[in-house]
């Protein structure tokens, strides 16, 4: 059995020969999402990560029933999952999702 390794966070970078360097994936994330990513990176105990996912799942607002349609349903999941994407007034892509499983929702 292979030993587990701690892999560094993924990022996109340009090679040394590239004229301009590309920003890391983390630099492209909205501040709140970046905060969540950093939280999960800092927690090494699997049970603590699981409990954090449950916390998020219990505290996220549900998706409006009008969007729980076949078009928005994620096929192939054991749980019922719906995802909606739209542009807000500032032309940002916004994702909303819901699930009948608290863990999946988190």
**pLDDT, tens digit only, all 106 positions of the chain:** 444 444 344 333 344 444 466 567 667 788 888 888 888 889 899 999 889 989 988 998 999 999 999 999 999 989 999 999 999 999 988 999 999 998 888 8
Which residues, at least 6 apart from 56, have a Cβ–Cβ distance to it below 8 Å?
Answer: 36, 105, 106
Quickly tell me which residue has 């970078």 as its tokens. 13
* Residues 27/29/30/33 CA torsion (nearest 10 deg): -120
Determine contact, residues 96/83, Cβ cutoff 8 Å. yes
pTM given for the model: 0.63
Set 12, 22, 77, 85: catalytic member: 77
Which residues, at least 6 apart from 29, have a Cβ–Cβ distance to it below 8 Å?
Answer: 37
Q: What is the pLDDT of residue 64?
A: 96
Specify whether 68 is catalytic.
Answer: no
């Amino acid at each position: 059995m292979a030993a587990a390794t701690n892999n560094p966070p993924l990022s996109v970078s340009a090679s040394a020969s590239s004229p301009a360097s590309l920003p890391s994936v983390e630099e492209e994330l909205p501040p709140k999402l970046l905060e969540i990513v950093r939280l999960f990176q800092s927690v090494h105990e699997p049970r603590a990560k699981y409990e954090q996912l449950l916390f998020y799942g219990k505290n996220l607002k549900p998706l409006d029933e009008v969007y729980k349609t076949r078009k928005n349903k994620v096929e192939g999941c054991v749980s019922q999952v719906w995802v909606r994407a739209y542009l807000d007034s500032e032309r940002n892509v916004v994702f909303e999702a819901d699930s009948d499983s608290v863990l999946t929702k988190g």
